[in-house]
């Protein structure tokens, strides 16, 4: 599987508006642009591995990537799923640390690599950009705190419902009275997001389907009744 390069100017990137690079001044933008390398990845390829050192920042231009940790028994826990516009691997980069997770392509992806030096240069010279990055990191931390509490005290059923709603928010394609989650997840991956066994996800999904909360469309899930799903997630009391 040879790595296929491609090239697109950051200023012309479709996802610039969703990215932290948005609003960068021309000088900084070209610094990033001139040093980046863009590569196309196929499903299943790895972007980086837990335990290795980051040498730069990945910026998603297309596709989906899962970032996950493996435990001793080889069980996966998916920390998040990156979509176009997202940065990848900046946590380890900013804390001068090893990667604490592995990144693998879920759907064929186009990803630009920005060398550490260029990224840090812009970060140092541009306090506004620095401020935005800090804000983004802290925001993500807030989300993780939320997840921690959820994992600690919610049942698998509640967590699955909550995660389906979350996926709907992030990857949802609005239809008439229903929303298609534009993400072809295997049951196994969904289990790794929720933090449970594959069989349990299968059973619960088919319950949700029987109850008319969701429907299956190929490998994708359509949310039919978000309100009832929220009730299952224990987000609504009534």
Residues that bind its own copies (CB under 8 A): 69, 71-73, 75, 77, 79, 90-92, 94-97, 100-101, 124, 127, 130, 133-135, 137-142, 144-149, 151-154, 195, 234, 237
Q: 149: burial class by Cβ within 10 Å (0-12, 13-18, 19+)?
A: exposed
Q: How far is the CB of 70 from its own copies (least distance, A)?
A: 8
The contact mask relative to DNA for 165-194 (x = CB under 7 A, - = no) is ---------------------xxx------
Q: How far is the CB of 49 from DNA (least distance, A)?
A: 19
- C-beta closer to DNA: residue 66 or 157: 157
Q: What residues does 57 pair with on adjacent strands?
A: 114
Query: Interior CA angle at 69 toward 167 and 148, to 5°?
Result: 60
Q: Say if CB 135 and CB 19 are below 8 A apart.
A: no
Q: CA dist 237 to 122, 167, 212, Å?
A: 47, 21, 20
Q: How far is the CB of 183 from its own copies (least distance, A)?
A: 20
Binding partner of 91, given DNA, its own copies, none, CB within 5-8 angstroms per partner class: its own copies
Q: Say if CB 31 and CB 121 are below 8 A apart.
A: yes
Q: Is 157 in the site for DNA (CB under 7 A)?
A: yes
Please identify which residue in 70, 155, 173, 235 interacts with DNA, judged by CB under 7 A. Answer: 155
Binding partner of 187, given its own copies, DNA, none, CB within 5-8 angstroms per partner class: DNA
Measured distance CA(230)–CA(74) in Å, rounded:
31
Q: What residues does 11 pair with on adjacent strands?
A: none
Q: How far is the CB of 31 from DNA (least distance, A)?
A: 39
Phi-psi region of 96 (alpha: psi -120 to 50; beta: other; left: phi over 0): left
Phi, psi dihedrals of residue 221, rounded to the nearest 5°: -115, 135
Binding partner of 11, given DNA, its own copies, none, CB within 5-8 angstroms per partner class: none
Interface residues with DNA (CB under 7 A) are 155-157, 186-188, 195-200, 202-203, 205-206, 216, 218-219
């Amino acid at each position: 599987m040879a790595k296929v390069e491609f090239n697109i100017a950051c200023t012309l990137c479709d996802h610039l508006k969703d990215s932290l690079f948005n609003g960068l001044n021309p000088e900084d933008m070209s610094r990033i642009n001139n040093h980046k390398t863009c590569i196309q990845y196929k499903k299943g390829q790895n972007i980086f591995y837990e335990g290795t050192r980051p040498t730069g920042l990945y910026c998603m231009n297309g596709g989906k990537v899962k970032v996950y940790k493996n435990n001793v028994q080889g069980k996966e826990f998916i920390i998040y799923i990156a979509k176009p516009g997202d940065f990848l691997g900046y946590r380890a980069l900013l804390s001068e640390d090893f990667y604490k997770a592995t990144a693998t392509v879920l759907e064929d992806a186009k990803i630009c690599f920005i060398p550490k030096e260029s990224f840090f240069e812009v970060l140092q010279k541009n306090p506004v950009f620095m401020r935005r990055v800090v804000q983004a990191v802290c925001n993500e931390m807030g989300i993780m705190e939320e997840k921690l509490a959820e994992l600690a005290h919610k049942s698998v059923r509640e967590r699955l419902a909550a995660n389906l709603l979350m996926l709907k928010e992030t990857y949802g394609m609005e239809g008439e009275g229903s929303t298609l989650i534009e993400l072809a997840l295997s049951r196994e991956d969904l289990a790794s997001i929720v933090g449970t066994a594959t069989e349990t996800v299968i059973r619960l999904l088919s319950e949700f389907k029987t109850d008319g909360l969701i429907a299956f469309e190929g490998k994708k899930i359509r949310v039919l009744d978000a309100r009832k799903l929220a009730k299952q997630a224990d987000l609504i009391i009534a």
